[in-house]
Structures are given as structure tokens and as C-alpha cells.
Structure 1
Amino acid sequence: MAEAGIVWTRIDNRLVHGQVGNAWVGATGANLVIVADDAAAEDKVQQQLMKMTAESAGCDIKFFTLDHAIDVFSRKTPKKSILLVVHDPAAVRKLVEGGVPIKSVNVGNMHADGKKTVYHESHVYVDDQDLADFDAIKAAGVDLFIQILPTDRKTEI
């Protein structure tokens, strides 16, 4: 088992789905998935679907708002190996600026919408705000890279 604490942080617009459950839980050694997302923390239907995916991977799952995640990680030393999943770069930036001990961030799927353009990979679309958030995350000393699947190569950002 991996060391206790946040062992992997992933940006994925889909949050927890088959790819996260089937590939990333095993690759990271996580035994707890924490979804830090304000909307998902309130959506019981979405939680139930994500819970089924996590359980099929043999993993527990919890749902936190971003503020609750900052609060929890500032007061507790995790005893679990955590795969932290967020929706977008703005969420990671808020967590990092709030003191959550994130060392690296795996950028996964970021879907196209509106004014977003492809960024290095066909699954990663960004706008100016996403790029500003990437810059702030990197400026905080966090390693940032694109990797869709554990078997894919890493592309440093």
C-alpha cells in the first residue's frame, strides 16, 4: 500500500468514472478516493454513481466541498492513501492556496466547451483562466503534468 496522505491528485471533468476506478486506483495504491467538488458534494445521484465505481475498485469514497477539503487537510493527518479528484484547475489552485499538501497534479480529461482550445493532448482543452490557474499551481511548487492513463507518457506542463 502507498504511504498515507494524498498519493495522487487528478483533474478530470468527469470526476470518478471507470477510468479512474479501473486504472488510477490500482496504479496509485489508493484506498480512499476523495472528490473535492462543490456541486458533487451536494448531488446524491452523482455520488451514488461514483460510489459504485469506487466500490468496484475496492476503494472507499468521500465527497467534500472545496472549503471542507481545505478544513479537513489542515486539521488531520490522513491515515488512508488518498486519490484526490477535482473537476478543474481552479479547484486545485484553491486547494493549494488553502494549504492542502498537494505535491503533483495529474491533468486528465478537460472537455471542450465554448472558447476552450486543445492543449497538448486531444483530451485536454483550456481557456485563459485554466492557463492562469496552471501557472499559479506551478508557481506554488506543484509538479503539473498531463497523463490520461497510467500507461501513457507524462507531458509536463
Structure 2
Amino acid sequence: MMSIADKGIKNIRIDERLIHGQVATMWTNSLQASRIMVVDDDVVNNKIEKMALKTAVPMGIKLSILTAKGAAKRILEDRYIGQKVFLLVKKPQTLVELIDYDLPINKIVVGNMSSREGRRSVKKSVAVSQDDVEAFNYLKTAGVQIVAQMVPSEPEVDFMNLLK
């Protein structure tokens, strides 16, 4: 079975902050990423956020900022084969979209999802809404392994156990 790794995608991470210190240094280095791909329909249309992301990307790393539909299309066209792409999204719903566009996602890493109104904390720096829980359940049903991991040196934890 084809996996997303065969398409050049090394890691898929949910992190509301997108590119920040941990992502720019620890994650990018540990994955030896050659490209960071931010997939978010809102960010694509936000000039200020796009500028901030371009500024935050480490030297020598390419950046793609794409809609879910655009990312799925490019990945399925094999545009990233031979690259080491670190794919970032802000929320699990974006990954549901990617799966619905037939991307063969087999594993995702949950990083930072901040606390706010209507969310419950499930782990340090991870809070989920009911919509998020439904998205995670959908991903799990689709056969995606979901782990929580803040930094690469930390052990992976089964995320679905945290939701219980």
C-alpha cells in the first residue's frame, strides 16, 4: 500500500503555532527536512501570517503555504518525491480534508493545541473541542495512527488514549 512517506512527506504535525522555535529548530533538524509545508485554507489568504511564516522558516529550508485541496493535488502528483517534507496544520479538521482528498496518511503527530473557551485539556499544551474530538475519531477510523509528542526527544504517546 502506498504511504504518504513514499510521496516525500516525512512527518505530519498539528501545531497551532505552525512555525516557531521547536518546529524551526528541533523538528526540522531531527527530520532533516528540506521543505516545510503549511496546509491551511485561512493562512493562504492572510498576507500578514504568510509573511510571518516566511520570516520564521530556517535558512535553506523551502516553504510551501497551501490550501488542503492544493496540497493534496500536488502531493498526489508526486511533486515532492525525493524531498523531505514536514507538513504542518493548525487543526485536525484539515487532515480530515486531506484524507477526503485521498491522501494516504498513516500517522500524525499532535503538538500544540492551545486552551480556550469550549476546549478541554488532555495533555500539557493540548486542549480539544468537541469538533476536534470528532475529527480525531474520523482520522482513527480512517486508519491513521495518532500520537502526541511535543519535541522529537520526547516519547510518543497514543493520542486516542488521552481523549478518553
Q: TM over 0.5: same fold?
A: yes
Name 1:71's counterpart in structure 2: 73
The answer to whether residue 133 in structure 2 is matched with residue 134 in structure 1 is no
**Residues 68-147 of structure 1: pairs in structure 2 closer than 5 A:** 68-79=70-81, 80-119=83-122, 121-147=123-149
Partner residue in 2 for 1:32: 35
Change (3 A) 1:4 1:68: closer
Aligned counterpart in structure 1 of residue 64 of structure 2, from 54, 62, 81: 62
Provide the residue aligned with 1:154 in structure 2: 156
Instruction: Give the residue type in structure 2 aligned to 1:54.
Output: V
- Residue identity in the other structure for 1:113: R
Distance 1:38 1:116 in 2: 22
* Cα separation, 2, equivalents of 1:122 and 1:153: 14
The alpha-carbon deviation at position 74 of structure 1 amounts to: 2.3
Identify which range, 81-90 or 41-50, moves more after superposition: 41-50
User: In structure 2, what is the Cα distance between the partners aligned to 1:8 and 1:135?
Assistant: 20
**Segment of structure 1 superposing worse, 18-27 or 39-48:** 39-48
In the alignment, which residue of structure 2 is the partner of 1:16? 19
Unaligned stretches of 5+ residues in structure 2? 160-164
Q: Which runs of 5+ in 1 are unaligned?
A: none
Deviations 1:6-30 (A, max 9, x none): 1000001111112111111111121
Q: CA deviation at 1:44?
A: 2.2
1:44 aligns with 2:47: yes
In 1, distance between residues paired with 2:141 and 2:75?
Answer: 21
Distance 1:77 1:50 in 2: 22
Displacement of 1:126: 0.5
Q: AA paired with 1:151?
A: S
Aligned residues: 154
Aligned counterparts of 2:78 and 2:7: Cα–Cα separation in 1: 12
Measured on the aligned residues, the alpha-carbon RMSD in Å equals 1.6
Give the 3 Å change call, closer, same or farther, for CA 3–51 of structure 1 in structure 2. farther
Distance 1:108 1:137 in 2: 16
SS of residue matched to 1:105: strand
